Amino acid sequence: MVNLGIGWTVLPNVQAEDGPRPLTPSSILSTRNLIVASRKNAAQSPAVLSLLASLKEENNSN
């Protein structure tokens, strides 16, 4: 439906712009705020810590 112009999707660029029928990006239609919550004394996985660092870096660059 997206390729036909009658649908929309949200995909990572690596998926959307690759393959036999890549999609063409359009303008940004919307933005959203993300909130991260965790337990105060809970152990954090390296993946979570990496995600938090990336989100903070992105937030500080804007």
Low-confidence stretches of the chain (pLDDT beneath 70): none
Q: What whole-number distance in Å separates Cα of residue 29 and Cα of residue 31? A: 7
| Threshold 0.75, pTM exceeds | no
Quick one: DSSP state of residue 19? Answer: S
Q: What whole-number distance in Å separates Cα of residue 35 and Cα of residue 17? A: 28
What is the pLDDT, as a whole number, of residue 32?
80
What is the pLDDT, as a whole number, of residue 54?
92
Quick one: DSSP state of residue 59? Answer: H
Q: Write the pLDDT tens digit of every residue in 22-35.
A: 887 778 878 888 78
